[in-house]
Amino acid sequence: MQTAQTIIKNYRRKRIIVCASLSLLTLLTTLGCSFISQRNLNQQTTATFVNHAVETLEKILLPIQAGRAIVEPLLGRPCLEVNFLLRKQAASLQSVRSIGLIQKGILYCSSTFGRRDIPIRQFLPQLPSAEPLLLLTTDQALLTGSPVLIQWYPAPGKSDDGIIQIVNIDLIARMLLEPLLPIISDVRLSVGGKHLSYFSQLSDTLEFDNHDRIFQQTSKKFPFTITVSGPGSSALALEYLPKQLPLAVIFSMLVGYIAWLATASRMSFTWEINMGLAAGEFELFCQPLVNAQTQRCVGVEILLRWNNPRQGWISPEIFIPLAEEHNLIVPLTRFVLIETVRHLAMFPTARDFHIGINVAASHFRDGVLLQDLNRVWFSAKPTQQLMVELTERDSLLEVDYLIVDELHRKGVKLAIDDFGTGTNSLSWLEKLNPEVLKIDKSFTAAIGTDAVNSTVTDIIIALGQRLNIELVAEGVETKDQASHLRRHGVNILQGFLYAEPMPLRHFPKWLAENTPPPASHHQPIMQFIP
């Protein structure tokens, strides 16, 4: 059997492992959630940035597109006649640098320079075109080399005639294409194979750092694309993670502490006892009591044994004190009482055959023991005599003696178990008025070997005889001990000399043969309440 220290150590180890695992899991989960949250935030920030850039440029180009209806009727009319109207229209569209009218491929009128006579292909090889175009190029007239965005709208049914509106994209790029560090390190506007950066640099290729992540969004209203690059949402989230580590550690330690408190009952012996009761892991044993003169079995003491599938066989010396400490002794005693009544058929149906059940003093509180006996024992109306064996481990309260009187009235025998080992023996004799004194096995073992304890044994025997109290000797293992006790008037003996504790199912066979069955368990069986 395992010792209490071993079992408690195992539970403490399991408890530490559980709490440490929960704490580590919490730490990893917190960091994981922080990583995912930060990554999603980075992705959302990038998407919002690009979407804002696209929507802003669309809002700039839509009024220009709508202004086409105003300029288109001017196409083909003399420049002197329409120049003022062109300048007025360009002024109303603040983002437009210039508006030009093209006829037969010739730019003949400009809102900026007035009358012109320049083939449009000379500076814009893509024009004229039968389809509307959006072009990204450099200014060749007003601000030479600066980037401009050109909208071309052909006249209905005429591919050589049309309108060009030059957008001052340089200023717009400063507003839309500014990187958002550290999430976005570069932003490009792509139109017709040309790419404009924040620094007003126009290139024919879209190149980024090899380690950068690319995110693009194309306008659904105009043929342009906004492209952004950066270290990537995941990489930035990993860089941000160390900042979250202190908070995650504190939170994981808090969870570990809460788990430590929460497992105080579940990861404990208290939980094991409750689980053992629920799972039917406890089993009743009994040890016969024999008449010293006739050698006839006159009763049994009910014992409790626990075969814990998680810990193995657990001695009552371990689980009984722990059960008393955690207020579980009453449920255990109630279990013993119920199981005893359920197996009454295994015992002789004689009125002088008594069945002893160990009861702790705490069971007397508030009349709980009397209620249990009324509900379980007396309701079954057994023939056998019930003997309540009370240990000297705990003291009874004054109010509990009323319960004792009621037990006497109901015909229940009261025995003081392990008499002589406690501190209240004499006062108990006066207040309890017991019918039986059970001499502790330590005094029985001293017979013939220990002069002091042997003398104490004789004194206890003399005291019981003087008070006319029936005596039962526990732990009788030798014939010399039995002979000594018999000579000194101890009439009932209990011990390995007559029978070892046995499962209830073996008792009828032992009783019939008057010999103990082969031992099925090699561990010593302790009393229900040692």
- pLDDT per position as a tens digit, 76-133: 899 999 999 999 998 888 888 899 999 999 999 999 889 989 999 988 888 999 999 9
- State the pLDDT at residue 171: 79
**CA 104 to chain centroid:** 79
Closest C-alpha among 135, 139, 149 to residue 177: 149
C-alpha distance from residue 357 to each of 50, 70, 390 (Å): 83, 110, 9
Q: How far apart are CA 442 and CA 439, in angstroms?
A: 8
pLDDT band (50, 70, 90) for residue 522? very low
Position 456 pLDDT exceeds 90 = no
Cβ neighbours of residue 367 closer than 8 Å, sequence gap 6 or more: 403
Q: What are phi and psi of 306, to 5 degrees?
A: -125, 115
> For the segment 178-187, what is each residue's pLDDT rounded down to a tens digit?
888 889 989 9
Q: How far apart are CA 267 and CA 493, in angstroms?
A: 42
C-alpha distance from residue 32 to each of 46, 240, 245, 249, 282 (Å): 21, 12, 11, 13, 46
> For the segment 8-33, what is each residue's pLDDT rounded down to a tens digit?
667 678 878 888 999 999 999 999 99
> For the segment 330-373, what is each residue's pLDDT rounded down to a tens digit?
999 999 999 999 999 999 999 999 999 999 888 888 889 999 99
Specify whether the CB–CB gap between 474 and 494 falls below 8 A.
yes
- State the pLDDT at residue 527: 41
pLDDT band (50, 70, 90) for residue 225? very high
Peptide bond into 246 cis (omega under 30): no
Closest C-alpha among 234, 112, 218 to residue 165: 112
End-to-end CA distance of the chain: 16
67-171 CATH, one of 3.40.50.720, 1.10.3720.10, 3.10.20.30, 3.30.450.20: 3.30.450.20
C-alpha distance from residue 309 to each of 35, 147, 336, 497, 520 (Å): 43, 83, 20, 31, 17
Q: How far apart are CA 314 and CA 1, in angstroms?
A: 6
Q: At 447, list the tokens.
A: 């017979």
Report the 10 Å Cβ neighbour count for 119.
14
Residue 322 one-letter amino acid: L
Per-position DSSP letters for 386-429, written without gaps between them = EEEEE-SSSPPPTTHHHHHHHHHHTT-EEEEEEETSSS-HHHHH
Element (H, E) at 69: helix 68-71
The strand pair at 96-103 and 106-110 is best described as: antiparallel
Q: How far apart are CA 174 and CA 178, in angstroms?
A: 6
For range 264-268, the mean pLDDT: 57
- Does residue 134 sit in helix, strand or coil? strand
Q: How far apart are CA 191 and CA 196, in angstroms?
A: 8
Cβ neighbours of residue 106 closer than 8 Å, sequence gap 6 or more: 117, 118, 119, 120
Element (H, E) at 203: strand 202-203
Bridge partners, residue 358, by sequence: 389
- State the pLDDT at residue 12: 75
Q: How far apart are CA 349 and CA 12, in angstroms?
A: 48
Specify whether the CB–CB gap between 306 and 270 falls below 8 A.
no
Q: At 192, list the tokens.
A: 């017709």
- Does residue 355 sit in helix, strand or coil? strand
Radius of gyration of the chain measured on its C-alpha atoms: 50
Domains 67-171 and 269-511 alike in fold = no
For 177-315, where are the alpha helices, taking DSSP H only? 233-266, 269-279
Q: At 310, list the tokens.
A: 């998680």
Percent helix, strand and coil across the chain, each rounded to 5?
Answer: 45, 25, 30
Q: How far apart are CA 160 and CA 106, in angstroms?
A: 8
Bridge partners, residue 355, by sequence: 300, 386
For range 129-143, the mean pLDDT: 82
Say which residue, 523 or 456, is predicted with more confidence: 456
Q: Enumerate the domain spans of the chain.
A: 67-171, 269-511
Residue 100 one-letter amino acid: G
Question: Could you tell me how many helices (H) and strands (E) the chain has, helices first?
Answer: 16, 21
Position 425 pLDDT exceeds 70 = no
- State the pLDDT at residue 268: 61
Tell me what the pLDDT averaged over the chain comes to. 85
Q: What architecture is domain 269-511?
A: Alpha-Beta Barrel (3.20)
Across 70-79, 399-408, 430-439, 440-449, the highest mean pLDDT is recorded for 70-79
Please give the torsion angle defined by the CA atoms of residues 186, 191, 192 and 194, in that order, rounded to the nearest 10 degrees: -40
